[in-house]
Structure 1
């Protein structure tokens, strides 16, 4: 197929190069973001890990709105001990 008219065309070569690039890509896990108590460093159990930092900050805002005295911070999930 690589030697026919489609394979020799610009689109055919581009598709072949893109397929080669996709086959060599390495899957990198995306970190989850968790809320932790800023004073103790322990994760907040009632709030699950979030897929994006903005979602984690939204959860932090909601938790602090419910309890203004609570000190929370957002960290990537791979920073957990």
Structure 2
């Protein structure tokens, strides 16, 4: 009987307090991991957007070249090759 009372009065609050602290730490860790993942995802989205913009610009140039009827087509193609950024 005394052992049961001791467990209820002392043991249970200690166990619950330790458990609650462990849960708070785990939750804080999960929040940090989610924040890191969000930052990484946003950075990749920005990289994809920049890459898509570069591809769209190249397609516009190719469309213009394909529909151009001018005699200086070869000169314009060579000029575009010279302007291409080196990666």
Q: If the length of structure 1 is used for normalisation, what is the TM-score?
A: 0.33
Q: Which has the higher contact order (CA 8 A, sep 6+)?
A: 1
The structure with the greater share of residues assigned to helix is 2
Which of these two proteins has the greater Rg computed from alpha carbons?
2
Q: If the length of structure 2 is used for normalisation, what is the TM-score?
A: 0.31
